[in-house]
């Protein structure tokens, strides 16, 4: 069995005349945390959305677990075990925490396993356990982010993609989110992370890719990218 669980080849995304993603290729290996870093407009979110077929690809190929998912509908991709936690949380504000979590496993039929997974995510996120009957919209920003992550995990993904999980959170909560991401990986879930907090992302990732204006300009182990002078100046605030 190959170690590569997700392979993206020559991915291109256009929005009208704007060429947002320009022929990028990368791989995610089983059991790893892989991160895509870059400034606003670099094409990070477009890449994740194109993988999930939320936005159309103008060119390219995506293979997940040996299956070509390039043209599969999003719901079929989720059933195969690839899930996206979108930027901005996108929880259902008028549903309870419990109902939000159940929306995460709408495509599953294994009721006993769903119960086990509910226990699992509530142990990962104890604050959600205390708020199961509370409406999602009444949670704090940090709690909503935890709910978005937990809802994603309820689909029992083999690979969980996260788009800006720390966006808009206080520093203490950011640290908590990144601890949880490591814990999720330790539980056997492979992670593809898009994150503007480059330092925090590179600290926990196995491998990283730097995107600039739709192209991968640099790739290396996370620990090496942190030490790279160009990365430090551009993304880590180190001159």
pLDDT attached to residue 39: 87
Spans of all domains in the chain: 90-156
Q: What is the pLDDT of residue 237?
A: 60
Q: Model pTM?
A: 0.92
Ordered mean pLDDT values, 10 residues apiece, the chain (239 residues): 88 96 97 94 94 96 97 94 89 95 86 90 92 94 91 94 90 89 94 92 95 95 92 72
Beta pairing partners, 6: 28, 64
- The whole-number pLDDT of residue 1 equals 47
Q: What is the pLDDT of residue 191?
A: 98
pLDDT at 223: 93
**pLDDT recorded at residue 231:** 87
Q: What sign does the CA torsion over 73, 95, 108, 45 have? A: positive
């Amino acid at each position: 069995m190959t170690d590569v669980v997700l392979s993206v080849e020559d991915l291109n995304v256009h929005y009208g005349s704007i060429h947002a993603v320009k022929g990028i290729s990368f791989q995610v290996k089983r059991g790893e945390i892989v991160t895509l870093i870059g400034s606003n407009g670099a094409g990070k979110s477009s890449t994740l959305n194109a993988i999930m077929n939320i936005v159309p690809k103008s060119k390219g190929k995506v293979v997940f677990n040996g299956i070509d998912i390039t043209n599969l509908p999003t719901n079929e991709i989720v059933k195969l075990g690839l899930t996206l936690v979108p930027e901005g949380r996108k929880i259902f504000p008028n549903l309870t925490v419990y109902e939000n979590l159940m929306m995460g496993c709408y495509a599953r039929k294994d009721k006993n396993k769903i119960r086990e997974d509910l226990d699992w995510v509530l142990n990962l996120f104890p604050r959600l356990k205390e708020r199961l009957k509370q409406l999602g919209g009444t949670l704090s920003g940090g709690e909503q982010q935890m709910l978005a992550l937990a809802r994603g995990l309820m689909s029992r993904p083999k690979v969980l993609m996260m788009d800006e999980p720390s966006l808009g959170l206080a520093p203490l909560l950011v640290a908590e989110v990144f601890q949880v991401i490591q814990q999720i990986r330790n539980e056997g879930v492979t992670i593809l992370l898009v994150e503007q907090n480059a330092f925090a992302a590179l600290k926990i990732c196995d491998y990283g890719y730097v995107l600039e204006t739709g192209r991968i300009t640099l790739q290396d182990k996370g620990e090496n990218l942190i030490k790279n002078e160009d990365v430090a100046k551009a993304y880590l605030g180190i001159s």
